[in-house]
Structure 1
Amino acid sequence: MAWDFSTEPEFEEQLAWMRTFVRDEIEPLETLDLDGPTLKRATAPLQEEVKARGLWAAHLPPELGGGGFGQVKLGLMHEILGRCAYAPSVFGNNAPDSGNAELLALGANDDQKKRWMEPLLDGELRSAFSMTEPNAGADPTLLTTRAERVGDEYVVNGHKWFTSNGSVADFLILMAVTDPDAAPRRRASMFVVPTDTPGVEVLRDIPTMEHPEEQEPRPGGHAEVLYRDVRVPVENLIGAEGDGFLLAQKRLGPGRIHHCMRWLGQSQRAFDMLCERAVSRYTHGSVLSEKQMVQDWIATSTAEMTAARLMTLQAAWKMDQGGTEAALTDIAMIKFYGATVLYNVIDRAIQVHGSLGFTTDLPLEGMYRHARAARIYDGPDEVHKVTVARRVLRGYEPRDVPTEHVPTRREEARRKFAHLLDAAAVGGY
């Protein structure tokens, strides 16, 4: 099988422009304490520059206003955007809006696309993905939020949390059980639910390690949401009844590739800080870069990031060639490996900076808290490892254990290659 991650010179020029643009125009915004409305005003002219370059909402096909780039090119773009938390929104592909737009592009009808997807792409609306439940964890077959058909409506009751952006969203994409007696992967369906629908109650943005203090509703917050007799019109059903799991898989596959490439961008930024500190800090008779321990961290980080990058691009290439199904093992593998690499590189960068790395004077401590969550969301690492192991083991069959009455493998091999052994013994070879 041939492998080809190459891109055209024209696209390489776009990537070069993105690197400079993110570094010079977007990263400086991190030093300012901006509220939501101020940040939106600050990034609006930057978004216009992105649109002028033809890089806005690049994850969507051209007929929907995107670039139609494919996963390899998108991955290379996300690697650059991962350096700064504000960058994805400037390029119109910030989570969860980008994934929700992809989901609507895949499953929504024309009326739904016009009402929800097009304003979402234009930045007029914000969305949230409401799937995770407190007691279901990473197993969507355990979802209990119920959507019961009553005439031309569904009545929804349930409890969700970690509905990212839920407190600032205009609409929710809700996954709820429509047929509890169906096969596990046909029990649930997806709906568009405006957040101002009676019975939708956004309780709070859950305090987390990344944002430990409960704050006002904000982009990036992880909302806890109650649905109490929420009446959803039948026309808000996305796709057909029972399509919820399939749509979720189609949404999460590309999203995990983008996550992993953004983690590489964040890793590279932390690694740059590690190396700059190593060649600058003098202690115990030499700069840190001359200490073997630090050299080990630099070498190991380089190898890990290189491996993660190649694995992720391979997954993206497989998806471009054969769709999500062709890359399932790779996607699961890069999710846990990429999260581990991100965590390790940032941890080493903090260690090299000593007490300074532990302070908020540098972005490393915030990056570290964010990186810890990467090993949990979109499925904990352990679940993805199980997926990889199971899929790998499908290629193996059990073998009988030889008994004393069955020739050993060595004896079988000796008989099979006796002519070679005899010839070698008499110098025939």
Structure 2
Amino acid sequence: MTLAGGLPSGLAFLTGWLAETSETSLETTLSEWVRQTGWSSVGLIWPLSERSTTALLATPQDTKPLTQRPAELDEVLKSLLAGQTTLIRPVSGTAGRMYSLLTPAGSPAGVIWAERSSREPWEEVDRNYFHLAARLLERSPQFGRKIGPVLEPVRLEQRLKDAAVIAGRMAHDFDNILTGIMGFADLTQPLLAANSQPSKYVGEITKVGQRGITFTQQLHQLSRSAQVKPQPASVAAVLAKEEHRVRPALPNGTTMVVEVPPNLPSVAMEAGSLHTVFGHLVDNAVEASAANGKIAVTARSVELTGADARGYLGQASANQFVEVTIRDHGSGIKPEVRAKMFAEPFYTTKIRHRGLGLATVFRVLFAHRGGIRIDAATPPELGTAVRVVIPLASVRPAVAPPATVGAPAPGV
């Protein structure tokens, strides 16, 4: 390695990325890395699709937008997505171009590469260093400011687990209070003249009590959401019931289309938990939809590689899954809102909501070795696409162990 101080110095420089507390940009970080290593350049593309939002080329002098993708990139990605950690391709006048994937949890994959002088051939230690650099960069705050929050699923689950314990206790206490309020309201109502002012007041107390019960039910749902219930269930049957439930609540002119193949395999999650996951997500899609919009729900069988699985926030790993996608045609999620989703548990922009829905969905999927991913719709369409993956019942993975702070995320 050409780093002053060798490998120890190089590792110290990398770990500084995670400790970064200033507003240093990704562009500045990459240029500084090129200068520290003595390399010629570092390139980065995220995500891998043709509509990449971040495409950079860093040199010792500065970092500029990438104007042309490497010619060999598509061929390289096939090997990386199949599981190879690093790959070197010959480039005239250099030691070759070394590649590695970027796989931030809960986000699409990207790619990073480095070039250096032909006088310094790449060695095995360079491969290991570069692979480690990619893993640290995808977790760094600099990268997170570019693509959205960088989340560690295990840490997120631990935070939600702690909150769920408190939520369960609060729900139990509020249940007792609401039982008294609702009970005495019900006893009082028959004693009052119909349509009298006191009768209307008691009716309002009953309505408020019902809203309180709905809230405590959500708290109970969060507190119990990590219970693993892997009994096989049909995604098609649950989606059909959810469609029937929400149709009366669709905005004027809004349509809902559910497309599920007839031979879709059963998943390793019982029907009640499936209703919890799909119920919250479909409700969100309904609320996000404008008049004359469309909600599209599709399902399919998929086989994920380790890199694919890292694109879902949760505990998905290389395996076979059912993927369900729920798309709305609303205004989409604003960048400032996306930056707080999951990163701030219970964050919500809705006045009458408490931000419990996505937290509950995440915990259910995490416990069942599944995952969730939220993307903007592909232009020219508007809206949001939410994807969840649930393991097939026929290949059910081992039950998720209790979350431990500091444990590595799956696929790392």
- Give the TM-score normalised by structure 2: 0.27
The structure with the greater share of residues assigned to helix is: 1
The structure with the greater share of residues assigned to strand is: 2
**Which structure exhibits the higher relative contact order, with contacts defined as CA atoms closer than 8 Å and separated by 6 or more residues?**
2
- Give the TM-score normalised by structure 1: 0.27
